[in-house]
Structure 1
Amino acid sequence: MTLNRRSFLGASLAAGAALSAPRAIGQARPRVVIVGGGAGGATAARYIAKDSQGAIDVTLIEPTRTYYTCFFSNLYLGGFRDFASIGHSYGALASGYGINVLHDWVIGVDRDARTVTTAAGHTLPYDRLIVSPGIDFVEGSVPGWDISAQNRMPHSWKAGSQTQLLKAQIEAMPEGGVFAMVAPPDPFRCPPGPYERVSMVAHVLKATNPTAKILILDPKASFSKQALFEEGWQRHYAGMVDRIGPDFGGANVSVNPEAMEVDIDGTVEKVDVCNVIPAQKAGRIAEIAGLTDDSGFCPIVPATMQSRMDETVFVLGDATIAGDMPKSGFSANSHAKVAAMQVRAALTGSTAFPAKYSNTCWSLIDTDDGVKVGASYAPTDEKIAKVDGFVSQTGEDAALRKATYEESVGWYAGITADMFG
């Protein structure tokens, strides 16, 4: 099925169509606070406000006034989209749905008192809390790199100014220069993302700097859609992309940002651009709130997205331990609809239907050469489990690959409208 804005929103509306029970006259509205305004948090805010028909007081806390999506940010790097096209504001959520949008940082959660504290000094009480903080980086996971080095060796794994910086560095590479990527270990945000990024960098360099080289330093033995990417690199960028896996030192990499060097198992290479994508964990506020376990991520109840640490708290998206589901914007949006339905049912007495989850990850390899992988999922007692799945095949014809790319463009329009209204 080809996804466009109309079909995506139609499916989403059908999934959350149950109306809330009416509240008694004069009864105080129950309060929901949502931390994080990305694919999980913004979607949850909109669905709770919309489907409760004003019966629930919804506050969304997000520090940025314009949210830049990580998904499709690689297409900006490749020149297929402009920067403004991946930026989205919260105005429609506030004006169209009555959501209280607070641009601030959450610095504390008191789960006993059921309050959230912000950097500006606000203390907000809640009846239910939704936490969708995305990811932070594991300190020391790439020796020689920490967040203070992000301007020399950008991560660009949180979209915005980092994405613009990386694009500028790529465009400024000397003729015949070297672009290096330190790829992250599992689990991490967007499993195909680093390899789509390599494809987009190669697309730019092929046109502007054809003698440049791309070096992937990868601690993993394999990666998502590997056969599809490697086929595409050979077809479009032959001789440009080299990947060093763990058998050849990719798991023993350190960096020297000041000297712009990478050390690969004792062999030092000079590079011109270095994209360091460190190991990841749940956003810091999840740890502060006591919602993480030893993995650094948040265990959840698969049927509801409730935290296993606190039944009044729901956790969404990249921060979760979501079983078979990957960490992606599509996944976070899917989590949010389940959580919104559960929160609305708990606070208004409306019906909560059995949870269903889905995900698709599209990747662009070159112009009109799109591939995808995806699945549907259902909750078990232990995890969110894969029910069935699909993946593009090597050797597909150009018409199918173009249709896959166009499908991804329709999906982006649909999901961002689903998030932001």
Structure 2
Amino acid sequence: MTLNRRAFIGTGAAMAAALAAPNVRASSHGMPRVVVIGGGAGGATAARYIAKDSKGEIDVTLIEPTRMYYTCFFSNLYIGGFRELSSIGHSYGTLAQSGVNVVHDWATGVDREAKTVTLAGGAVLPYDRLILSPGIDFVDGSVPGWDVSAQNKMPHAYKAGSQTELLKAQIEAMPEGGRFAMVAPPNPYRCPPGPYERISMVAHLLTEMNPTAKILLVDPKPKFSKQALFEEGWQKHYSGMIERIGPDFGGDKVEVDPDAMTVNIDGVVEKVDVCNVIPAQKAGRICEMAGITEGNWAPVIGHTMQSRVDENIHVLGDASNQGDMPKSGFSANSQAKVAAMAVRGALLGSNVFPAKFSNTCWSLIDEDDGVKVGASYEATDEKIVSVSSFISQTGEDADLRKQTYEESIGWYAGITADMFG
């Protein structure tokens, strides 16, 4: 499966053309209103497609507190020195020009009975359909000794931007021969290969500037995404630098002390110079506030991405519990197009076709050494299911790995254009 910027955008454009909606049903209060909370890969895409494909017949408001959105995907490449931070930052100006009312504020409440959203600034926004795409928050106490008040000493960098900058600066300031540690998250979490691509990018950076440094990876999971590919790459490019401790040796029994800069692994205390703590994750808090979560995530109907608790709410991306799709930017973008189609069908009477989804996760191990995993999906009444899949293979030649990396660059250009216009 090969994607480039033109092919990626073209797929979305073809779907949009097929779903053109000539039959307009006005709501009782005039133009139908859609409020979208969260301006990432799911929310921005949904807002843009609803506004564009409804041809102005739906009032679309996007609520996003930040004026510059930094993608978590490709943020590891900034850490590794392959991209500038500015290259993963995106503004909402073009999206606003395309007919989306962009409001930079925090959503602080959802009244499902009144069908309103309350903002921190005091505004109350009515909706006919609400789309929640808030990404992740962290599970309190999942790593003993760490909470968000410690994120400047032990960054998570799993929400991109200032945290990503901070983590890279800490790595660059490590003493010669110092030690970097990561506490990896338990399943499920945002971007399954993400922590291991980050280990690769930290190793790449240290190989160039601090080659005697060591990396300690503490992992509660017995196995992880693309494990054979990463371990092959680590042996090839960073032999002797990376040590992984899994649950068999205490990787699931970890405490940290941010003040002492120590990691306690099943009673064994390790002193480190930098510690990247990636805690257990849950749906962004607005989902809990709306009362649509079960456990840590928001269950949805795969055909439409509607909440199983409230048919007037759709949940996208990392926050949703939808079945087989991983929590990734590509997944959120794909789900957003299905939700946009469903919303237009409900509000305007336009055609709604069977939901189909796709995802690919690329990872960079070293310069021009890219790998990928992906699948195609369909919706059933129970959940979203995988119908076909692919993955890079160990032992691939250098030209293929370089091609895979270049493909990921084209995909990034395509998805960000698809999100923001």
TM bin (shorter chain): over 0.9
> 1:231-242 counterparts in 2 under 5 A?
231-242=232-243
In structure 2, distance between residues paired with 1:86 and 1:398: 26
2:138 maps to what in 1? 137
Q: Does 1:61 align with 2:63?
A: yes
2:326 maps to what in 1? 326
Q: Does 1:89 align with 2:88?
A: no
2:47 maps to what in 1? 45
Q: Could you list the per-position Cα deviations for residues 60-89 of structure 1 after superposition, in whole angstroms to 9, with x for gaps in the alignment?
A: 000000000000000000000000000000
Q: Secondary structure at the match of 1:37?
A: coil
1:395 maps to what in 2? 395
Partner amino acid for 1:42? A
Partner amino acid for 1:190? C
Percentage identity across paired residues of the two chains: 74
In structure 2, distance between residues paired with 1:369 and 1:322: 32
Q: Secondary structure at the match of 1:254?
A: strand
Residues 83 and 128 of structure 1: CA distance in aligned 2, closer, same or farther (over 3 Å): same
Q: Please report the TM-score for the alignment, with normalisation by the length of structure 2.
A: 0.98
Moved more, 12-21 or 307-316: 12-21
In structure 2, distance between residues paired with 1:373 and 1:366: 17
In structure 1, distance between residues paired with 2:77 and 2:257: 28
Q: Secondary structure at the match of 2:248?
A: helix
User: Would you say the 8 A contact 2:192–2:224 is kept in 1?
Assistant: yes
Q: Please report the TM-score for the alignment, with normalisation by the length of structure 1.
A: 0.98
2:214 maps to what in 1? 213
How far has the Cα of 1:4 moved from its partner? 1.7
In structure 1, distance between residues paired with 2:46 and 2:87: 22
In structure 1, distance between residues paired with 2:47 and 2:26: 24
Q: Secondary structure at the match of 1:156?
A: coil
Partner amino acid for 2:181? A
Partner amino acid for 1:227? A
> 1:261-280 counterparts in 2 under 5 A?
261-280=262-281
2:335 maps to what in 1? 335
2:171 maps to what in 1? 170
1:186 maps to what in 2? 187
Q: Does 1:35 align with 2:37?
A: yes
Partner amino acid for 2:415? I
User: Would you say the 8 A contact 2:25–2:348 is kept in 1?
Assistant: no
In structure 1, distance between residues paired with 2:385 and 2:24: 36
How far has the Cα of 1:412 moved from its partner? 0.1
How far has the Cα of 1:22 moved from its partner? 4.5
Q: Could you list the per-position Cα deviations for residues 349-383 of structure 1 after superposition, in whole angstroms to 9, with x for gaps in the alignment?
A: 11011100000000000000000000000111111
> 1:147-158 counterparts in 2 under 5 A?
147-158=148-159
In structure 2, distance between residues paired with 1:6 and 1:28: 37
Partner amino acid for 1:309? V
Q: Secondary structure at the match of 1:413?
A: helix
Runs ≥4 residues deviating over 3 A: 22-27
1:299 maps to what in 2? 299
In structure 2, distance between residues paired with 1:372 and 1:87: 23
Q: Secondary structure at the match of 2:62?
A: strand
How far has the Cα of 1:261 moved from its partner? 0.4
Residues 24 and 258 of structure 1: CA distance in aligned 2, closer, same or farther (over 3 Å): closer
In structure 2, distance between residues paired with 1:372 and 1:2: 11
2:111 maps to what in 1? 110
Partner amino acid for 1:349? G
In structure 1, distance between residues paired with 2:229 and 2:418: 30
How far has the Cα of 1:20 moved from its partner? 1.5
Partner amino acid for 1:58? V
How far has the Cα of 1:14 moved from its partner? 1.1
Partner amino acid for 2:32? P
Q: Does 1:227 align with 2:266?
A: no
1:376 maps to what in 2? 376
In structure 2, distance between residues paired with 1:321 and 1:253: 27
Partner amino acid for 2:375? A
In structure 2, distance between residues paired with 1:100 and 1:132: 16
1:361 maps to what in 2? 361
In structure 2, distance between residues paired with 1:227 and 1:419: 32
Partner amino acid for 1:184? P
Q: Secondary structure at the match of 1:372?
A: strand
How far has the Cα of 1:24 moved from its partner? 7.2
For structure 2, the 5+ residue unaligned runs are none
1:243 maps to what in 2? 244
1:75 maps to what in 2? 77
Q: Could you list the per-position Cα deviations for residues 70-120 of structure 1 after superposition, in whole angstroms to 9, with x for gaps in the alignment?
A: 00000000000000000000000111x111000000000000000000000
Q: Secondary structure at the match of 1:300?
A: strand
Residues 98 and 198 of structure 1: CA distance in aligned 2, closer, same or farther (over 3 Å): same
How far has the Cα of 1:21 moved from its partner? 2.3
In structure 2, distance between residues paired with 1:59 and 1:338: 18
In structure 2, distance between residues paired with 1:230 and 1:56: 49
Paired residues, number = 419
